[in-house]
Amino acid sequence: MNNQSNLTGDKLLALFEALANPHRLKIISILAGDRKYVSQLAREAEMSRPLLYMHLQKMEKAGIVNNEMEVSADGKAMKYYEMVDFDFHINQDLIMEAVKTLTIKKKEGK
């Protein structure tokens, strides 16, 4: 995610949402060292797999993690997650451009 020129308002919000949680920041710090399979990542992050998957889903939506299924030597399917390298610089010009493409959805009943 090094190219900020194609960053839409919705992608910017997804990125902010992915980074605005202490559990997701911990996951980033763990994955920054190396890719991990789900069970290993859940143990290191000290959370249940369902909760981990919920966080990983938000991070995937933001484009900061990828996953890949692999089969181990004993035939067991293992899902690995890894970080997508990103270098992000926020300033008022970036936000001003991203807002032009922002899709604001009204809540039902309003």
Residue 30 maps to which CATH number? Answer: 1.10.10.10
pLDDT of residue 87: 86
pTM to 2 decimal places: 0.81
pLDDT of residue 107: 54
Per-residue pLDDT of the chain (110 residues; tens, 9 = 90+): 545 667 889 989 999 999 999 999 999 999 998 999 999 999 999 999 999 999 999 999 999 999 999 998 999 999 999 999 988 889 999 999 999 999 876 555 54
d(CA 58, CA 72): 27
φ/ψ of 7, rounded to 5, equals -80, 115
Decide if 108 is inside a domain: no
**Residue tagged 């997804």 (tokens):** 14
Decide if 4 is inside a domain: no
Q: Which domain holds residue 68?
A: 9-99
